[in-house]
Structure 1
Amino acid sequence: MRDKLQHMHPIVKKVQDAGVVGAGGAGFPAHLKYNTNAEIVLANGAECEPLLYKDKELMRLFPNEVKKGMELVAKAVSASRSILGVKSKNKDVIGQFRGLFGGTKHEIFEMGDYYPAGDEYVLIYEAVGRLVPYGGYPIHIGCVVSNVETLLNVALADSGVPVTETFLTVNGVIKNPMTIKVPIGTPLNEIIEFAGGLTTSEPVAALAGGAMMGQLQTDFTLPVTKTSAGFIFVPMDHTLVRRRSESLSEMKKIGQSACDQCTYCTEFCPRYLLGYHIEPHKVMRSLGFAGEKDDFWGNYAVNCCECNLCSLYACPEDLDPKQACVRSKKNIKLKGLSYTPPETELAAHPMQEHRKVSIHKLTRKLGLLPYNQKADFHLDRFIPTHVNIPLSQHIGVPATPIVNEGSEVSIGQMIGQIPDGEMGAHVHASINGLVKSVTNDNIMIEAK
């Protein structure tokens, strides 16, 4: 990796210096993704998690920056095409980009309002008709895919501005649902207060990252990160809280006894419908076996993208095929077993177009229609009392602290650095203030 990084395109070097990571997923360091050659750059503005609007609002308010980010990445990877994937319902956004893209090589691909339109495999297939090979990545079919917030950060990086803020939506049982831009490391409880507080005095949990692929969060002192997309606040007795609170042993016991092999989980699986070797209903069979049989049925989970459609929409028994797939993937990895894909050529299922799940139907099934409120961008600048900035907000090794307790820091100052030659991302101060504590995990800064 060290040799390859010594020959980076100047744009890619700026992206590395700014600490840009994938804002729409697991936080893969963007400089590593862009340090290549590709034919097509795909800007992912599909945003398919119910009740989240940060990508839509970002595109509406900062179209020039998104366009510039697309241009910069296309230049860095020598791409001949760049395409913005956006839902056709977002007419205002599409209108803006049509005006900006006129006379350029940029294209707009309009998508339906379904889940998971934002899955990169789905976006690539819909927009350019290509399928990522088994065990491969988009680059293996000439594509680089980036979330629109990542591309905005690329545009800022080109001007020497590092990643210090993140866009997110707060929705649910909150007085003023909104999309806001906040300093990285801001405690969630201060964001709740900024949004007017909760609408209930009963216990509440947050679905951090969304209802489908997000995590359950009950500690509101935890900070937001570069990959935070939003928080949906729901009562503790909501079905989504109960479902996420089930232990692995409970999932296994209930799945063993109640799964009737109806195959709905497989029939609605977006990766199965693209032709991949994944059948969640067969993975459910693994719950009743151990040893070789467990491994055999678990093989049908390897291509799972963990979108949760099988568990939270398709299954009529409210079982958890997704968690069964996660369990099987972990077991296979721990045992060092290799996966051999079928020899048949990848081809989408004939029903792929007709089994797409609309966001409205999904929102209703999730029990979130009562909380489905507009969350327009809030223009007032939000400055927290303090930030607690994690040194690992990305795939790879944590950044190494380069400031000490008691140091004064300013917005944009590097406070955590990637170890030489390692995969990771630099970390920068998100507010002006005084460093109150430094550990191997976090740096806390108190606002001046």
Structure 2
Amino acid sequence: MISENQLYITQHDVISQNVKYGFLLSIALLFASLAFVFNTPLEIYSGMITILTSPANLTTDYFALANVGATLCNSALLTVHSIGVIRMTRAKVNGPIIAAVFTVAAFSFFGKNLYNSMPIVIGAFAYARVTEVPAEKSLLAALFGTALGPLVSEITFNIGLPFPLGIFYGYLFGFIAGFVIPPLAKHFVGFTKGFSVYNVGFTCGVVGTMFTSLLRSTGRNIEPVSVISSGNNQAFTIIFLSLFTFMLISGLYLNSWTLNGYSALLKHSGQLSTDFLKTNGFSVTLINMALLGYISTLYVLFHGGELNGPSIGGILTVVGFGAFGKHIRNVLPILIGVTLMGFLNDYDMSATSVVIAGLFGTTIAPIAGRYGTLIGILAGALHLSVVSNTGYLHGGINLYNNGFAGGFVAAIMIPLLEAVQYQQEKRKQLREPVDPAEEIKVSK
């Protein structure tokens, strides 16, 4: 028997596939349109050339490197490219795919561009071809794996190679990185047990550390950078609050102007893989994404942070994963934990590096979803300490540094939490009264 709720979700998914594609495309169109509000076509063209031909190590804010209009165009271009790749594989839009597209759009504000992403995407699909599996199986690795885009840019433009050789080795290393990400990502899920939703981020951290070590062994200096912009808070507060309001209204409209089903979504821990489109439907998922957008934007503003490339990337990533594991109940404890640790250790909470540690630190939101608010706060606090020290390992060529750090936090905490939970359950069983009938059977 199929329940009424399951029947509704099934019917809704069947009729809304085009709507989902349209939703993703509308984000690209919005950014492309807004680009010309901020800059002239000539400024955008010049900025795009700068973005495509510059090193992109974490943290390179494209607002500061080029200009706002070029950055918005870069994000729109990569979003459309991602949608095209999805269409090519004939994949249906689900929670993980929405998260992937939003993540690509997000990091196109600081580090990803079409030049440095292409070889990684090609490498991931080459792995599928060589292993004779459907291209769809490598789709998420291809999209999320573009976290290593700075590796391509770094080799091409920043280690002193002649230009033709820089292109050749940049694309060769990018291809190799893309090729190894799919099998490694599958393997590393067991390392975090799905409690860090940026699983490919952890994978890219490991791969990036390997490549950085190789480059450093040749005498090259690979380091994170800090190119940060400021002064765009008013404009982007209006833009994003308007966008999230539109998403909320659309979700409510599609959900018959109710919040029916949202409480059920909040009961999920978020542990990989929790596809909210599959479990709760598109309309409820859209509501969840909008609410996370409000929370993320206000989190930045509350701490006096700047709405620049990295923080906007953080906001969009949280929103995207509102379709794939994150919701307000498991995200808030992480944000609180990061904030408390920051205040206790006298961090500058308005610093972009600290603000994005909170936003991207929600990768470990499933820990709060499974083990409760207090454990979630503890996880968030631990994450801030760990992420402050992992960037050097990969030299900033892995854009998902928080995914890398979050993987370690999950790997450390989960075995301990499982051991404690196991002992508590054993004690509970010992305290439970014995059934008299069972006691008689045992005595006989």
TM-score, L = length of structure 2: 0.28
Greater share of residues in strand: 1
Greater share of residues in helix: 2
TM-score, L = length of structure 1: 0.28
